Amino acid sequence: MSFRAIRILFLLTLLAAVAGMTYWESMVVRNWLRPLEVTIYPVNGDDTAEVGEYIAALKQDHFQEIGRFIAGQSERYRGKDLPPVSIRLAREIRTPPPFPPQDRHSGFSAILWSLKLRHYAFDHTPFWDSLGTVRLFVVYHQGEDGKPLQHSLGLHKGLVGVVHAFAQAKQNAQNNVVITHELFHALGASDKYDAANQPLYPEGFGDPDGPRYPQHVAEIMAGRIAVAPEVARIPAGLEACVVGYKTAWEINW
């Protein structure tokens, strides 16, 4: 075999190994064959001292309600047999994750971004300790009141996601809603809102069996409470969210 052929064979083997490992990881995690381990990596999205101070003051405790929410919601679908969920807060990462493509519907730029994100994850997180765990990069911004942040994005085929959150203590509860939403993407769930951010009926409604409007809870993958046909509001925290039947089915509950 020529050197060129050997090199191509080597690269193909490497690609196959990475693809196989990604598939195996996702399958084990998404089928709840072992405890779910989630690691949160905070990132200073503004590169400012204020956001830095907020990150320095973050405690692992702030995120534990995510685990309790998942355990509590799963009971309605599968009793008490869900393996334990653990949420760990890792040290701050100094480099921001790659910017998602402007055109989210172009297949090529989406693939390129997913490769860049995998490479970023590989560079900034421990390799062996991360196997079989979900890694969420939470990018904190000071933000302006009433102005939405950049959209959070997860990889459909990998256990990696990028979440944009507010660096304000009063936003911690809502940040946990966004983090949980993105975590559910990593577990295989799809969005349940339309182009106008209105929850889709019935799968995006917290209580699709009751009166249609107003709803009082949000389906986690719709992310908003449907108050009226064209009005939806952001839930204050996970206590105002539920996992609907379709999301439950998508994540193998």
Interface residues toward Zn ion, by CB under 5 A? 191
Dihedral (C-alpha) 233, 204, 182, 78: value to the nearest 10 degrees? 130
Give the span between the Cα atoms of 137 and 161, in whole angstroms. Answer: 6
Least separation, in Å, of the C-beta of 223 and Zn ion? 7
Q: In terms of CB distance, is 82 or 178 closer to Zn ion? A: 178
Three-state secondary-structure class, residue 48: coil
Q: In terms of CB distance, is 58 or 153 closer to Zn ion? A: 153
Contacts of 181 (CB under 8 A, 6+ apart): 152, 220, 221, 223
Least separation, in Å, of the C-beta of 176 and Zn ion? 15
Q: Are 133 and 159 in contact (CB under 8 A)?
A: yes
Least separation, in Å, of the C-beta of 134 and Zn ion? 15
Three-state secondary-structure class, residue 241: strand
Give the span between the Cα atoms of 119 and 154, in whole angstroms. Answer: 14
Least separation, in Å, of the C-beta of 26 and Zn ion? 17
Q: In terms of CB distance, is 44 or 247 closer to Zn ion? A: 247
Give the span between the Cα atoms of 28 and 227, in whole angstroms. Answer: 38
Least separation, in Å, of the C-beta of 200 and Zn ion? 12
Q: In terms of CB distance, is 37 or 219 closer to Zn ion? A: 219
Give the span between the Cα atoms of 112 and 101, in whole angstroms. Answer: 9
Q: In terms of CB distance, is 39 or 180 closer to Zn ion? A: 180
Q: In terms of CB distance, is 51 or 220 closer to Zn ion? A: 220
Dihedral sign from CA coordinates of 124, 129, 132, 137? negative
Least separation, in Å, of the C-beta of 181 and Zn ion? 6
Go through 153-169 and write b for each residue having 16 or more CB atoms within 10 A of its CB, e for each that does not: bbbeebbbbbbbbbbbe
Tokens encoding 31: 């089928």
Q: In terms of CB distance, is 141 or 164 closer to Zn ion? A: 164
Least separation, in Å, of the C-beta of 185 and Zn ion? 6
Comparing every residue's Cβ against Zn ion, the nearest one is: 191
